[in-house]
Amino acid sequence: MMDIDMPLDIAFIRRQFPFLRASPPPVYLDSAAMAQVPDAVLNAMTQWEHSSRANVHRGMHARAEESTIAYEAARSTVQQFLNAKHSDEIVFTKSCTEAINLVARSWGETHLQENDAIVLSMLEHHSNIVPWMQLKDRKGIDVLWMDIDENGMPRMEDLEKHLKTGRVKIVSVTALSNVLGVTPDLQKIIALAHEAGALVLLDAAQAIAHMPLDVQKLDCDFLAFSGHKLYGPTGIGVLYGKRKLLETMPPFLGGGMMIREVHTEGFTPADLPAKFEAGTPPIAEAVGLGTAMEWLVAGCRLQVANSSHASSNQQRRTGILWDDIQPHEQSLLQHATCSLQQISGLHILGPTPDSQLLTHGCVSFTLDSVHPHDLTEILGRRSIALRAGHHCCMPLHKRLGIPASTRLSVGVYTTKEEIDACVQAIVEARKKLNT
Amino acid sequence: MDLYAENILDHYRHPRHKKPATRHPPFDSVHSRQPETIVHTEANLSCGDEISISLNIKDDRITEIFWDGTGCAISQAAMSMLSEELHGKTMTEIEALTPQNIYDSLGVPIGPRRAKCALLGLLTLKNTLRTHKGVDHVSWARLIALHNH
């Protein structure tokens, strides 16, 4: 048994990432866009390709059965990771974006009428804005916004005001801002929305890798995320939805696997979750995502190679794994914030220092007279990777009155030395551009 | 080769022909016949870069150029370098300018990641003149596809 009070062995963790084994090692501070992948995930996917590659839920041969078992085991792992009540509440998609689109199209088209309203926050990523804007155009619904306060937190009074109209049918908010690193008060948003008869979708693209998300405890109606920010592969996402809601929703895409019966006059859809998984699903990627979750729960701390189909750790309650990851990432962000604040003309976006608000995952900033693209280009030439731009959050940047920002994001493998190297390089880059 | 070569940084730090928009002279007071002033703005929404160009044109030739803008060193330096080449140019000569002309002036390798930074000034310039002529603006895709003869 591992001792959960032990700090993470970061050197041990880093050795498990091929990307970080390069020499000299890159300074990778862009995990909010794309987390790197450990050997355990790559090995599990390769093992599936080598010995189990076959289509799922189709065919009676042994490989088809193995493949189906691996795919459904991944679904169970996701169910346990989120503490969902039923495994058929877990729908595999190609991305978090597709999962949100699924809700907007399937649930939205069926349940929204003209003059209904939906609520978004100013923190949202374009993937949680555009699907609703498309719906607005088609259905004549209103999109109402929660503005943010001086700390970047969505204003509850805006939500209350919108809910009072009695027109709001769903509140779709991020569980963790990909720019400011703030977490809205999810419990309160969900309680208020439910009180007013509205559903809640959580965009957990960022939150999934930085905090426990217990869908039963939260009581959210939908939750979406993708694999590549959780140390898993690209091309896989997840939609969690309460069973009673998913059952009332029509299929999103049509094709194989999502049907019970097709005849010349029509079709009847399959049961959950197949109803929403038309076509051959991303099977290797699902296996990879399941393994990434198992790795994060236990494997990243074990000094022995973990079997790709390990199930011994599946009984662990969600939440345990965060007891050592969160303190590690918190100390990194505090160190980054303190170091960045020493740079004159650098402005950190997000909570004011006296707000006592914890941030997760990332810290974003602007630097006087230095464009984020110049900064990250110069840093990139020194193998220091940061993201620059509007981070797919144009409404938020407009609200903050800036065209773009630079984002430093951390993961389980990030070290203080990487942050120090980055801060030093920022100082030198500014000198180069402005002297 | 360093993208931030000394000549680029020099233009970025000390941009030529750059003046805040409000201080553009409305016309060339030396000449009795008032030249036309055309102003046009283009932006690169993906990074927030913006360039405005103000041209005075007389007898189909550029007699005066001012520009203003915000953005990265590449976009601002490229515009500054371009502005030095424009005096006396005809509209036909501007239409003939290609992305390669800009890359040659910059003198450093411009990859696809930074092409739109380098070319924002050229796009703005061409569309300033197209506004004047009343013809359709050139798009990013058309501009990037332009090659030297």
In this complex, is the C-beta atom of B5 within 8 Å of any C-beta atom belonging to chain A?
Answer: no
Interface of A with B in 353-412 (CB under 8 A): 371-374, 377-378, 381, 388-390, 394, 397, 402-404
Ordered by start, the domain boundaries in chain A are: 10-37+321-434, 46-292
ipTM greater than 0.95 = no
Contacts of B19 (CB under 8 A, 6+ apart): B66, B67, B68
For residue A404, give how far its alpha carbon lies from the nearest alpha carbon of chain B (Å): 6
| Burial class of residue B92 (count of CB atoms within 10 Å of its CB; 0-12, 13-18, 19+) | exposed
In this complex, is the C-beta atom of A434 within 8 Å of any C-beta atom belonging to chain B?
Answer: yes
Of A371, A388, A403, the CB nearest to B73: A371
Sign of the CA dihedral running B38, B44, B45, B48: negative
In A, minimum Cα distance to B1 occurs at A381
- SS3 state of residue B15: coil
- SS3 state of residue A288: helix
Give the active site residues of A. 392
Phi–psi pair at A367, nearest 5 degrees: -130, 120
Residues across chain A: 435
Which of these, A273, A284, A349, A244, lies nearest to A51 by C-alpha position?
A284
What share of chain B in percent tops pLDDT 70?
A: 88
Rg from Cα positions in chain B: 15
| Burial class of residue B127 (count of CB atoms within 10 Å of its CB; 0-12, 13-18, 19+) | buried
User: Per-residue pLDDT for B2 more than 90?
Assistant: no
> What pLDDT is recorded for position A7?
73
CB A371 within 8 A of CB A16: no
Contacts of A433 in chain B (CB under 8 A): 4, 9, 12, 73
Residue A428, both tokens: 């030198």
Q: What is the CATH topology of the domain spanning A46-292?
A: Aspartate Aminotransferase; domain 2 (3.40.640)
> What pLDDT is recorded for position B32?
43
pLDDT digits (tens, 9 = 90+) for A201-226: 999 999 999 999 999 999 999 999 99
Interface of B with A in 15-44 (CB under 8 A): none
Question: What number is the average pLDDT over the span B12-36?
Answer: 67
**Inter-chain CB proximity A381 and B3 less than 8 Å:** yes
Task: Write down all domains in chain B, each with its CATH number in brackets.
Answer: 6-145 (3.90.1010.10)
Question: What number is the average pLDDT over the span B83-90?
Answer: 94
Instruction: Give the architecture-level CATH label for domain A10-37+321-434.
Output: Alpha-Beta Complex (3.90)
User: Per-residue pLDDT for A429 more than 80?
Assistant: yes
Question: What number is the average pLDDT over the span A309-332?
Answer: 66
> What pLDDT is recorded for position B33?
54
Report how far residue A100's alpha carbon sits from residue A108's, in angstroms, rounded to the nearest whole number: 11
Which of these, A340, A290, A362, lies nearest to A123 by C-alpha position?
A362
